[in-house]
Each structure stands twice: as C-alpha cells, then as structure tokens.
Chains A and B, each alone.
Chain A
C-alpha cells in the first residue's frame, strides 16, 4: 500500500473511533456545552471536524502518492 494511502486511512479511522467506539463513554447529559446535552455536543463536534480530518487525508494523499495515469488526461 502506498504511504499516502496508509496515512490517509489512519486519519479515516478517526470518525469511527469518535462517533462509534467512543459512544459508551460519552452517553451523558452533563456537562452541557453550547446548550446541548454532552452526547449530542460530542456527536456534533465530530460531524463538524470530520471534513477537516478528511481534508488532511486528501492533502497527505496528494503529497505522498504519485499521480495516477488517469490524472494526466
């Protein structure tokens, strides 16, 4: 596997860790953040941060992976 792809996959695991496997630990109302119960705040936080994570993955792939043949078109 190309280095860029490997690093990008590590980043791609972040939403799964935070939005799936962390759920049992954040299933609480307190502390209330921005007026939201904590579990809903936590979910919203990672929904909003996921584009940043994916953008980082995109930049890393671009930096490390040589362009494919198809990109020459």
Chain B
C-alpha cells in the first residue's frame, strides 16, 4: 500500500518538476509559451500529439465501452485513423499559414483567412465552452483513478487539487514546452501499463487473446458486432460518428494550435503517416474491457472495468503504477487544454474582441493570469458542481467539429465567403443544440453532430456560391 502511495505521489510531483524545468532556460514570450518558438522536431511533436489523444478517458472509456456497450467501442480506433489521414492533407497547410503570419491559435487562423474579428471571437468562445467541461472530465477521471488505485488512501478531491495546482504551475512557467516534456513520462508509463495489462489479463484468465474471444463468442456473440449491447449505436451510427469525430479531432483548439509548434510542415506530414500505429495500444485496452465482461460481470460503472480488473489481478504496487500513469495521463492533456483556453481568452476574446491595441506583452501577461482563472473554474466545477457541465460535455465534440467546413474551405476553395462560413457555423451549432438537448441524438440513426456538420457545410458552400465571388480585402489565399 505504501509503495502504491509513493509511486503515485512521486510521479505527480516528479512530472510537475520536469514540466517546470522544461521552461527554465527559455525567455518566455507568447511565441515561446504557446507554440514553443515553432522549433519542435519529429519526436517531440509525435509525443505531444499522442499526449493529446490519449487522455484518462481513453483508458477508462475505451475499456468501459468494450465492457458495457461492446462493438461500438471500435469507433475509437477508427476515428483516430481518419483524423490522421485528414491531417496529412490539412495540417501542413495550416502550419504554413501559421508560420507565414505568426499565428498562435485557431481563432487567429479564422481571423487571418476571413478577415472577420467577429468570427474569431465566435470560434474562441465556442472553443472555450468546449474545453472547460473537457478539462473537468480530465480532473474527475484523475480523481477516480487515483482514489481507486491507492485503495482510498488518496481521496479523489486531494488528488485533483494537488495534481492540478502543480499542472497549473508548470503551464504558467513553461507553456507548451512543459506539456511536451511531461508527455514523455506519460507516454512511457502509459504504454507499459497498457501493454502489461492488455496482454496479461487475457492470458491470465483465458490463456490468450484468441481464447478470450472464443469464450466471449460462445457466451454472447452479439457483443462483438455492431450494435453490441447499445441498440442505438448500430452501423450507421458508427459510420456517422467516426466521420464526425475524425473531422472534428484536429478542430479542438488545443490540437489545432499545437500543430504550430512544429519546426516544419514536413515534420507534421511525416507525423501524420506514423500516427495510426499509435492506435494499436487502444486495441489492448479493448481486450481488458472484454476480459472484464467475462471475468467481472455486473459492474455498475463500466468505466471502472479496467481498474477493478487490475485490482483483482495484480499486486497493489502495480495498481499504484496504473494510478500514477493515469494521473499523468490526465495532467498532460489538461495542461494543453489550460494553455490554449487561456490564450484564447486573452488573445482572441479580450484582445480581438475588446482591445485590439493591446500589446503582445500585455496579452502574454493576461494569458498567464488566465491559467489560474481557467484552472480554478474547472476545479470549482469538478469539486462542487460535478454535474453542472454534463450538457456542455455532450456537445463539446459536436461543437468544435463545426469548425471543419470553415477550415477546409478556407484553405482550399477560393470562392468561399465569410458570410457563408459564419452562417454555416451558426446553423451547425444551432442544430447541435436543438438535437442533443431535445434528446434526438442519434437522429435517424446518425450522430446528431454529423447531421449538423452536413447542413453546416452545405450552407457554407451554398451561400458562398450565391453571394458575389471573391473574398473580402485583407484575406489571404493559401496556394
């Protein structure tokens, strides 16, 4: 027990120290803080991007879905692969534009392409509203994973406060460099954790992965094909969901923004080629969920399947290792979320919306101050109002995905108009809110966000074709 406690606390503290150290010898301006001076090479970009994809809920959620829903969980490895394929074509162009015009954030990109500060502020606000509940989800996941894996020795609230105050500090001092360095620790620990458990558990209980599947097929074959145990998640739902989330993934402001930190467009392109390999560990996470389905039937909360099975199978110090890996796995994405939410608030809401004459140094100071505001907000929600943001979380992915037409049309279609993109975006957002809050998701068997995205794109193209061709002055073409 003491060993587990030591491993968890040591990892959290050690990660924070590495994060702080990462920024010590760098003179921090906005360029260095948000995009690492655009100097990240292949390895660090790979680790950083992987750091954003693998969150605590990849562990808990992917195994939890395998446990309680079955086949629909496959969507997780599909959408990532689609996202990387799209990023191969889109991200290098975004990077080039960022380099040429010194862009730091996603709203910067929209302002630059469409010459509309309104659009920039709109994108920033939707981005922040999507980030906060996502951040709270990371906090809650961290609390749960540490509490369970320390056998209750570290209560959830203590774990959340401790690790997020430390995260907040290293974001303040080091910016994205801190996240990049800590993601090295995180990736190594997480791969070890998933490898040991994902290969070990099916072997220990069934004698191997093939035998585990044979046992599962004998007991409940329907669990392994769509729609599994979730009648509303049939093949059409999976198809529309992977399209939506595949297009939406790089539209998250923090994922979009971290592309700017690469040294060159080539690095981003090569990174997109190898990223799909990073999906393979998720397959092992599925194995844990499926094994738990047979070995631990009747769990009330499927998201605990991974932890409960480890608890049942391994010594307590190893459970502590899982808890530590889970904690850093929440800290890294959380740090990037905090970083970009703060920059969006300072640069794209305050400066772009209210005070265009603010100097870059002032924006930098404000961004850093916002780190504390954003962290405190997420902490308050996580500790005192855990259910207040559930609705926002439901529409977060659907919401940021609506940026996709504006990004792609802006990069590749000369006739696109500002008005078309704004109308498309507003229509898409309205449909998301109406369908999700009106309990019509899935809609006609499809993911509601996908329905909204199709309408959004159609409106954007339609209005662009109707209004006078040519873009407003001050905008740029990409080729």
Measuring CB to CB, which residues of chain A are less than 8 angstroms from any residue of chain B? 8-9, 12, 15-16, 19-21, 23-24, 27-29, 32, 34-37, 39-40, 43-44, 46-48, 50-51, 53-55, 57-58, 68, 70
Contacts and interface: CB of A to CB of B under 8 A. Distances in A.
Contacts, number: 104
B225 to A, nearest CB: 5
B243 A58 contact: no
Interface string B74-91: 100110011011101100
Question: Which of B88, B89, B275, B277: most chain A Cβ within 10 A?
Answer: B88
Contacts of A32: 210, 213-214, 217
A58 B238 contact: no
Categorize the interface residue count of chain B: 35 or more
Contact of A23 (B209, B221, B226, B272): B226
Interface of B: 71, 74, 77-78, 81-82, 84-86, 88-89, 96, 99, 208-211, 213-214, 217, 221, 224-226, 235, 238-239, 242-243, 265, 269-270, 272-277, 279-280, 283, 286
A12 B286 CA distance: 27
B225 A19 contact: no
Contacts of B286: 40
Given A36-B213, A50-B85, A23 B238 contact: yes
| Max chain B Cβ within 10 angstroms of own Cβ: one of A8, A20, A36 | A20
B89 A48 contact: no
Nearest to A73: B264
A35 B210 contact: yes
Given A9-B89, A12-B85, A36-B213, 17 more contacts: A8-B89, A15-B81, A19-B78, A19-B242, A29-B225, A32-B213, A32-B214, A35-B209, A36-B209, A43-B74, A44-B77, A44-B280, A47-B81, A48-B276, A50-B84, A54-B84, A70-B96
B425 to A, nearest CB: 24
B328 to A, nearest CB: 25
Nearest to A38: B225
A44 B279 CA distance: 9
B71 A39 contact: yes
